[in-house]
Each structure stands twice: as C-alpha cells, then as structure tokens.
Amino acid sequence: MNIDNTASQMRKGVLEFCILSIIKLGEAYPSDIIDKMKSANLHILEGTLYPLLTRLKNAEFLTYRWVESNSGPPRKYFSLTEKGATFYSELESTWLELANAVEAITSKQ
C-alpha cells in the first residue's frame, strides 16, 4: 500500500463535491476554482479539473456561458443547474453523514 495513492484517492473522492460547492456560490471560471481550492490548501492540477467539469456538464449538473475576455480567447463560466443543485444537496448530506461517521470512529481511538 502506498500512502500517496491512498491520500490522492481520498482527495479525489471529495473533489467533485468541492467543485460543485464553489460553483454553487456563483458563476466560476476554472482558474478561479483552482485558486480557491489552492487557498483552501487543496491542490489540484488544472489538467484534471477540465475533464471533471466536462463530465459534470455532460451529466447536466453544470451549464456554462461564454464571456469575452481581454486576455486571450473567450472564457467559459460555469454555473449550477437545478439538477446540479439537487445532486449537490444529496452529496452534501452524504458528506455530512460520512464526516460524522469518520469523526465518531476516529475520535474513539
């Protein structure tokens, strides 16, 4: 067993949840999401973010609109759909349950 792998696996599991919660606060540009996560000390490669966003978008949890930018090509700004909102709330409840359970188990030891 490799500690890095397990750790990255744990991170990966909550990644979608984190991304959705950031977008839930308002329209977001991918590099903003990266920055926000970085500031919360959750490091993620941009290259892994784009496929995640596309996957979520294809599952109709996210939608986007084009915004002209002065620096380079137009940007994609992502926002949550209604379906995404319900998905998020389900994820949130699962997360809370899980967090409580983990908390309960780990604090016993």
Partner 1 sequence: MKKVININFQGSVVPIEESSYELLQQYIESLRVYFANEEGKDEIINDIESRISELFQEKLKSGSTCITDEDVNVIFQNMGRPEDFEEAEVGEKTMSEGAGTYTDTGSARFSLKGKRLYRDENHKILGGVCSGIAAYLGIDPVIVRVLFIISGIGFLAYILLWIFVPGSNVLVNGARKRLYRNPDAKIIGGVCSGMGSYFNVNPWIPRAFFLIPFISFFFRWGHFGPLTFPNFLSFSFSPGTLIIYIILWLVIPEALTTSEKLEMKGEKVDLNSIKNSVVQEMEGVRERVTKMSQDAGSRAREKSGDMGREVKYAAKKTTGAIGNIIVTLFKIFAYFILGCIALALIVALFSLAIVSIGLFPLKDFVLNDGWQSVLAWGTLIFFIGVPVVGIITFIIRRIARIKSHNRVIRYSFLGLWFLGIICFVSLLISTAGDFRRTSSANEQMIRLDSPQVASLEVNSLDYNRYNRNNSWFRLEPFATFDDDTAYIGNVRLRVEKAVADSFQVGVMKMCNGKTRRYADTLASLINYNVFQRDSFLMIDRAIAINTTDKFRNQNVMVVVYVPVGKHIKINKNLRNSRNIRVEGPWHDDNWYDWDDDNYYFQYGVEYIMQEDGLYTLSGIRAGDYEKYQNDWQSEQDERRNNNHRNSNDDSYRYDQQTEVDSLRIIKEKEMEEIQKSVDSLKSVKEKQIMKMRDSLRQAKEKLEQKLEKLNDNAISEQASYRKGIPENSFIMHI
Residues contributing to the site for partner 1 (CB under 8 A): 1-2, 4-6, 8-9, 12, 30-31, 45-48, 50-51, 53-55, 57-58, 69, 71-76
Percent of the chain that is helix, strand, coil (3-state, to 5): 65, 10, 20
The minimum distance between CB 89 and partner 1, in angstroms, equals 25
Q: Which is nearer to partner 1, 40 or 96 (CB)?
A: 40
Q: Which is nearer to partner 1, 56 or 80 (CB)?
A: 56
Q: What are phi and psi of 79, to 5 degrees?
A: -140, 165
The minimum distance between CB 91 and partner 1, in angstroms, equals 19
The minimum distance between CB 32 and partner 1, in angstroms, equals 12
Q: Which is nearer to partner 1, 36 or 92 (CB)?
A: 36
DSSP 74: P
- Strand, helix or coil at 66? strand
Which residue matches tokens 């397990």?
Answer: 6
The minimum distance between CB 56 and partner 1, in angstroms, equals 10
**Type of residue found at 10:** M
Q: Which is nearer to partner 1, 75 or 92 (CB)?
A: 75
Quote the radius of gyration of the chain (alpha carbons, Å).
16
Neighbours of 28 (CB within 10 A): 22
